[in-house]
Amino acid sequence: MPSLDEVLKRAADYVSTWVPQLANIVSTEAYAQTGRVPGSTATRRLRLKSDVLLVRYPGGDLTWMLFRDVAETNGKPLAHAPERLLTLFAEAPADAKEQAQRIATESVHYHLPGATASATNPFLVVALMHEFYQPSLRFRLGDVDRNTLALRFEERAETGPVDGRNGERLPLLLPDVGRVRGTVWLDVETGRIVKTEGRMSLYGLAVSSTSTTTFALDQRLAVMLPTEMHTTWGAVSGTAKYSNYRRFNVGTTETPILKPLRP
C-alpha cells in the first residue's frame, strides 16, 4: 500500500487535473428534502429541480464556485428566464459578476431552513483535497477495499505549540458550516476520487451538517461526475440526484467574467 504522502500527492494531482475538466458541464439536479417544521411535529417536504454547474474564478487557479439555478419547487416553475446561467455565460453582460453572485446566493434560500452553500455543494470535499488546502488538514489512511482506499481527514483547529506556548487558533476553512472532517474514497493507483463524505460542526456542536457525494465515470463526456448527494442539517435530510449532463461552449471571444466563491 502507498504511504500517506504518496496518497496525498496522487489525490492533489488528480484534483488539479480533474476539476478543470468540469468547467462548462451543466447537469440537472433533482433535490428532495424532508424536515420537521420548527416548533411542531409536522414534516415538510420539498422537491427542487435546478441547473447546476461549476465555474472558475476569472484569472484564478484555486477558486471555483458551484452555481445552482433553481427552476422548479415542488413541480412549480419559478418565474425567471430558463437556462439563465447559460445565457449569463454566453452573453457576458457588463454586470455579469453581480448577476452571478445574486443567482448563487438566492439559490440557498429555496432550500429548507438551515441550508448553507457549503453543505449543499457536491464538490465541497473534493476541493479540500487540493494541495493548497491539504496543510490545513490532518490525514490518516483507512482501509483498502478492492483497490479503493479510505483517506480520513480532519481540519486543524490550531497550529502546533511554539516555544512552549499554545498554538495559534486558525480561522475556519468553511465559515458557514464550521470545522470539517470526513473521508475521501479514492483509487489507490490513480488517485481518482469515487466518493466523499464531509461532517461539519459549528459553535461546538458534535455534527451540525453532513454531505456525502458519489461519483461515476460519464462515458459520453469521459469525466467523473456526481451521481448522487446525501445531505443533512439540523432536522433536515436530503437526496440530490444528477442527470442530463451536457457541455456548452461560451459564445464569445472574451473570458466569462463571473465571480465564483470558494467552494
Give per-residue pLDDT as tens, 171-214.
899 988 999 999 999 998 888 999 999 999 987 667 789 999 99
The neighbouring-strand residues paired with 214 are 195, 228
Residue 253, domain member (yes or no)? no
Q: Which long-range contacts (CB under 8 A, 24 or more apart) does 134-143 make?
A: 134/8, 134/12, 136/170, 136/173, 139/4, 139/7, 139/8, 140/4, 141/1, 141/4, 141/7, 142/183
How many Å from the N-terminal Cα to the C-terminal Cα in the chain?
Answer: 31
Total domain count, the chain: 1
Confidence category of residue 233, pLDDT binned at 50, 70, 90: very high
Q: What pLDDT, on the 0 to 100 scale, is given for residue 45? A: 95
Q: What pLDDT, on the 0 to 100 scale, is given for residue 191? A: 87
- Tell me the average pLDDT across 224-253: 86
Residue 18 φ/ψ region, left for φ over 0, alpha for ψ in the -120 to 50 degree band, beta for the rest: alpha
Phi, psi for 11 (deg, rounded to 5): -65, -45
Residue 257, domain member (yes or no)? no
Q: What pLDDT, on the 0 to 100 scale, is given for residue 251? A: 42
| CATH number of the domain residue 196 falls in | 2.50.20
- 108 SS3 class: helix
On whether the CB atoms of residues 66 and 54 are closer than 8 A, the answer is yes
Cα gap 31→77, rounded to integer Å: 15
Cα gap 71→244, rounded to integer Å: 15
Spatial CA neighbour of 22 closest among 242, 252, 253, 257: 242
On whether the CB atoms of residues 136 and 170 are closer than 8 A, the answer is yes
Q: What pLDDT, on the 0 to 100 scale, is given for residue 133? A: 92
Share of the chain above pLDDT 70, in %: 76
Residue 260, domain member (yes or no)? no
What does pLDDT average to over the chain? 82
Q: What pLDDT, on the 0 to 100 scale, is given for residue 168? A: 80
Residue 162, domain member (yes or no)? yes
User: For residue 52, how many other CB atoms are within 10 A of its CB?
Assistant: 24
Residue 262, domain member (yes or no)? no
- Tell me the average pLDDT across 240-247: 94
Residue 255, domain member (yes or no)? no
Whole-prediction pTM: 0.85
Spatial CA neighbour of 132 closest among 217, 223, 221, 63: 63
Residue 261, domain member (yes or no)? no
Spatial CA neighbour of 256 closest among 53, 74, 32: 53
User: Which range, of 17-21, 222-226, 240-244, averages the lowest pLDDT?
Assistant: 17-21
Give per-residue pLDDT as tens, 37-85.
777 778 999 999 998 988 765 444 556 778 888 989 999 998 765 556 6
State the virtual CA torsion across 258, 259, 261, 263 in degrees, nearest 10.
Answer: 30
Residue 263, domain member (yes or no)? no
Q: What pLDDT, on the 0 to 100 scale, is given for residue 161? A: 67
Structural domain of residue 44, as residue ranges?
4-247
DSSP label of 165: B
Q: What pLDDT, on the 0 to 100 scale, is given for residue 100? A: 61
User: For residue 86, how many other CB atoms are within 10 A of its CB?
Assistant: 19
Q: Which residue has the cell 458551484?
A: 66
Q: What pLDDT, on the 0 to 100 scale, is given for residue 23? A: 78
- pLDDT over 70 (residue 12): yes
Phi, psi for 100 (deg, rounded to 5): -65, -45
> Does 147 or 106 have the greater pLDDT score?
147
Give per-residue pLDDT as tens, 83-100.
566 565 555 545 555 666
- pLDDT over 90 (residue 107): no
